[in-house]
Amino acid sequence: MLRIISYNVNGIRSAISKGFIEWLAAEQPDVVCLQETKAMPEDVPMLELEALGYVHHWHSAEKKGYSGVATFSKKRPDKVSTGCGIAAYDREGRILRTDFGDWTLLNCYFPSGTTGDVRQNFKMQFLDDFFAWAGELKRERPRLIIVGDYNIAHQEIDIHDPKGNKKSSGFLPEERAWMSKWFESGFIDAFRYANPEKVEYSWWSFRAGSRGKNKGWRIDYQSVTDNLAPHIVSARQLNEVVHSDHCPVLLEIDL
């Protein structure tokens, strides 16, 4: 059984200062996909991470201290590629692909639209382009797992205040419609598949003690191709882990 963790660390150096490496040593997932690393590999104490038995691959943003993804795995991937071939996104370090045998893992950090119209439009364009690109990849690599921070809460069950947030970026009707289209296009929401009625969140605003009151959003997802759904063992949010404004999300899958 494979244990895959996806985690928006909101700055890996910040997370390390709050005990991330000690937590990883105790947790020992087979693969950990990090988003919003905000660092280059040379900025990070890699020897400590390598000592835990991980090989690591990075796709950092060109802009320092911004965005970026990294994948640590116990097994060396057969193939690693960065980006999707669209410069506007690839400059921001948003997509990292690793192939292991007959299955492929994508570690993704979708854009946020919370800073205004320009970035919201960028986000919507990314969603359309990603949909097309992932569809092409699925034809080539039909066993796909796509984890990461999607920056969208899909359904009312995935957000603490659906009525109050219906005009908030991350819960806009057009974003939610995209998620529905995505999950109708040959992908399964692993958490919702394993837990149809469960309320769990993966992100909380730093404002107003949101995490303590569990006023959160579920915006970190594990999408698996339909053909992998029967192999899902469990999927959950590791709510007790606190190095970031997100918590890690765990997928256990028998491949």
CA atoms within a 13 Å half-sphere pointing along the CA-CB vector of 56: 23
Given the residues 102, 149, 226, 245, select the one marked as catalytic: 149
CA distances (Å), origin 176, targets 1, 67, 156: 32, 23, 10
How far is it, in rounded angstroms, from Cα 192 to Cα 43? 36
Q: In this structure, are residues 12 and 56 in contact, taking their beta carbons and an 8 Å threshold? A: no
Active-site annotation holds for 43: no
User: In the 3-class helix/strand/coil scheme, how is the chain assigned residue by residue?
Assistant: CEEEEEEECCCHHHHHHCCHHHHHHHHCCCEEEEECCCCCHHHCCHHHHHHCCCEEEEECCCCCCCCCEEEEECCCCCEEEECCCCHHHHCCCCEEEEEECCEEEEEEECCCCCCCHHHHHHHHHHHHHHHHHHHHHHHHCCCEEEEEECCCCCCHHHECCCCCCCCCCCCCHHHHHHHHHHHCCCEEEHHHHHCCCCCCCCEECCHHHCCCCCCEECCEEEEEEHHHHHHEEEEEECCCCCCCCECCEEEEECC
Which positions are annotated as active-site residues? 149
